[in-house]
Amino acid sequence: MNRVPRTGRMQAMFPGAVVFDLFHTLVDTEHLRPVGFSEVESVARVIGAEPSGFAQFWADTYVERETSMLDLGDLTARYCDQAGLLLDFAQLDEIDTVFGVCKDEALRQPEPAMVELVATVASGSVIGVLSNCHAREVRAWSASPFVDYVAVFGRSCEITGS
Protein backbone atom coordinates (compact mmCIF):
# COMPACT_ATOMS: atom_id res chain seq x y z
CA MET A 1 0.00 0.00 0.00
CA ASN A 2 1.25 3.48 -0.85
CA ARG A 3 1.12 5.66 2.29
CA VAL A 4 0.85 9.41 1.95
CA PRO A 5 3.00 11.22 4.52
CA ARG A 6 1.07 13.14 7.17
CA THR A 7 1.89 16.51 5.63
CA GLY A 8 0.86 15.20 2.22
CA ARG A 9 -2.54 14.21 3.59
CA MET A 10 -2.99 17.66 5.07
CA GLN A 11 -2.09 19.29 1.75
CA ALA A 12 -4.57 17.09 -0.06
CA MET A 13 -7.27 18.00 2.47
CA PHE A 14 -6.59 21.77 2.33
CA PRO A 15 -5.41 22.50 -1.21
CA GLY A 16 -5.96 26.28 -1.48
CA ALA A 17 -6.94 28.52 1.36
CA VAL A 18 -8.42 27.90 4.78
CA VAL A 19 -10.22 30.56 6.79
CA PHE A 20 -10.67 30.33 10.55
CA ASP A 21 -12.78 32.35 12.94
CA LEU A 22 -10.67 33.80 15.75
CA PHE A 23 -12.52 33.80 19.07
CA HIS A 24 -14.05 30.52 20.22
CA THR A 25 -12.46 28.72 17.26
CA LEU A 26 -8.71 29.39 17.25
CA VAL A 27 -8.62 30.93 20.70
CA ASP A 28 -10.92 30.41 23.64
CA THR A 29 -11.32 33.11 26.25
CA GLU A 30 -13.82 31.50 28.56
CA HIS A 31 -11.35 29.51 30.68
CA LEU A 32 -9.48 32.78 31.36
CA ARG A 33 -12.55 34.69 32.52
CA PRO A 34 -12.54 35.10 36.30
CA VAL A 35 -15.68 33.72 37.94
CA GLY A 36 -18.40 36.36 37.86
CA PHE A 37 -16.34 38.72 35.66
CA SER A 38 -18.22 41.07 33.33
CA GLU A 39 -16.34 43.62 31.24
CA VAL A 40 -19.29 45.98 31.15
CA GLU A 41 -19.96 45.82 34.90
CA SER A 42 -16.25 46.21 35.64
CA VAL A 43 -15.93 49.29 33.43
CA ALA A 44 -19.10 50.76 34.96
CA ARG A 45 -17.48 50.34 38.37
CA VAL A 46 -14.26 52.01 37.19
CA ILE A 47 -16.09 55.09 35.89
CA GLY A 48 -18.64 55.24 38.71
CA ALA A 49 -21.61 54.64 36.41
CA GLU A 50 -24.86 52.88 37.08
CA PRO A 51 -24.29 49.39 35.56
CA SER A 52 -27.58 49.05 33.69
CA GLY A 53 -27.22 52.48 32.06
CA PHE A 54 -23.70 51.73 30.89
CA ALA A 55 -24.79 48.25 29.74
CA GLN A 56 -27.54 49.81 27.62
CA PHE A 57 -25.06 52.25 26.07
CA TRP A 58 -22.70 49.33 25.37
CA ALA A 59 -25.45 47.33 23.71
CA ASP A 60 -26.54 50.35 21.66
CA THR A 61 -22.99 50.87 20.33
CA TYR A 62 -22.29 47.23 19.40
CA VAL A 63 -22.26 47.77 15.64
CA GLU A 64 -20.07 50.86 15.95
CA ARG A 65 -17.56 48.99 18.16
CA GLU A 66 -17.34 46.02 15.85
CA THR A 67 -17.19 47.91 12.55
CA SER A 68 -14.84 50.81 13.31
CA MET A 69 -11.38 51.35 14.72
CA LEU A 70 -12.89 53.27 17.62
CA ASP A 71 -10.85 52.92 20.79
CA LEU A 72 -12.92 51.46 23.65
CA GLY A 73 -11.52 54.08 26.02
CA ASP A 74 -12.75 56.81 23.68
CA LEU A 75 -16.15 55.17 23.52
CA THR A 76 -16.29 55.00 27.31
CA ALA A 77 -15.25 58.67 27.44
CA ARG A 78 -18.21 59.49 25.19
CA TYR A 79 -20.52 57.77 27.66
CA CYS A 80 -18.94 59.68 30.54
CA ASP A 81 -19.44 62.99 28.70
CA GLN A 82 -23.11 62.17 28.11
CA ALA A 83 -23.61 61.04 31.71
CA GLY A 84 -21.71 63.97 33.25
CA LEU A 85 -19.00 61.71 34.71
CA LEU A 86 -15.36 62.73 34.95
CA LEU A 87 -12.79 60.37 33.46
CA ASP A 88 -9.05 60.55 34.10
CA PHE A 89 -6.00 58.88 32.56
CA ALA A 90 -5.70 56.33 35.37
CA GLN A 91 -9.28 55.23 34.74
CA LEU A 92 -8.58 54.95 30.99
CA ASP A 93 -5.60 52.69 31.73
CA GLU A 94 -7.75 50.56 34.03
CA ILE A 95 -10.49 50.35 31.38
CA ASP A 96 -7.95 49.15 28.81
CA THR A 97 -6.79 46.48 31.27
CA VAL A 98 -10.37 45.35 31.93
CA PHE A 99 -11.03 44.89 28.22
CA GLY A 100 -7.87 42.85 27.83
CA VAL A 101 -8.32 40.52 30.81
CA CYS A 102 -9.40 37.49 28.80
CA LYS A 103 -8.64 38.18 25.17
CA ASP A 104 -5.03 39.37 25.41
CA GLU A 105 -3.89 36.24 27.22
CA ALA A 106 -5.92 34.00 24.91
CA LEU A 107 -4.24 35.60 21.89
CA ARG A 108 -0.74 35.48 23.39
CA GLN A 109 -0.97 31.90 24.62
CA PRO A 110 -3.53 29.85 22.69
CA GLU A 111 -3.78 26.12 23.10
CA PRO A 112 -0.58 24.59 21.63
CA ALA A 113 -2.64 22.05 19.67
CA MET A 114 -4.43 24.88 17.84
CA VAL A 115 -1.13 26.54 16.94
CA GLU A 116 0.16 23.18 15.70
CA LEU A 117 -3.00 22.66 13.62
CA VAL A 118 -2.70 26.08 11.99
CA ALA A 119 1.03 25.56 11.35
CA THR A 120 0.32 22.19 9.71
CA VAL A 121 -2.47 23.55 7.53
CA ALA A 122 -0.29 26.56 6.63
CA SER A 123 2.37 24.23 5.27
CA GLY A 124 0.09 23.52 2.32
CA SER A 125 -2.48 26.29 2.26
CA VAL A 126 -2.89 30.01 2.67
CA ILE A 127 -4.41 30.75 6.06
CA GLY A 128 -6.91 33.51 6.71
CA VAL A 129 -8.66 34.60 9.88
CA LEU A 130 -11.95 36.46 9.99
CA SER A 131 -13.08 37.97 13.23
CA ASN A 132 -15.76 40.27 14.54
CA CYS A 133 -13.25 42.05 16.70
CA HIS A 134 -12.69 45.62 17.70
CA ALA A 135 -9.57 47.78 17.66
CA ARG A 136 -8.57 46.71 21.19
CA GLU A 137 -8.17 43.11 20.04
CA VAL A 138 -6.28 44.10 16.91
CA ARG A 139 -3.55 45.59 19.12
CA ALA A 140 -3.10 42.25 20.89
CA TRP A 141 -3.07 40.21 17.66
CA SER A 142 0.60 40.94 16.93
CA ALA A 143 1.63 39.05 20.09
CA SER A 144 -0.14 35.88 18.94
CA PRO A 145 1.84 32.88 17.65
CA PHE A 146 -0.75 32.60 14.87
CA VAL A 147 0.73 35.71 13.23
CA ASP A 148 3.54 33.57 11.81
CA TYR A 149 1.06 31.42 9.87
CA VAL A 150 -1.80 33.73 8.93
CA ALA A 151 -1.52 35.49 5.58
CA VAL A 152 -4.75 37.49 5.81
CA PHE A 153 -6.49 38.78 8.95
CA GLY A 154 -9.96 40.20 8.20
CA ARG A 155 -11.20 42.33 11.08
CA SER A 156 -14.77 43.58 11.31
CA CYS A 157 -13.55 46.77 12.99
CA GLU A 158 -11.86 47.77 9.73
CA ILE A 159 -15.04 47.51 7.68
CA THR A 160 -16.20 50.87 6.43
CA GLY A 161 -19.71 51.84 5.60
CA SER A 162 -18.79 53.22 2.17
User: Could you tell me the CA-to-CA distances from 66 to 11, 55, 115, 133 in Å, in that order?
Assistant: 34, 16, 25, 6
Tell me: the pLDDT tens digits for 4-25?
444 544 444 556 888 888 888 8
Mean pLDDT taken over the chain: 85
DSSP structure class, residue 109: S
Tell me: the pLDDT tens digits for 103-146?
888 889 899 999 999 999 999 889 988 887 777 777 888 899 99
Using DSSP's 3-state secondary structure scheme, residue 122 falls into: helix
What are residue 23's phi and psi, to 5 degrees? -80, 130
Using DSSP's 3-state secondary structure scheme, residue 126 falls into: strand
Whether pLDDT at 93 is above 50: yes
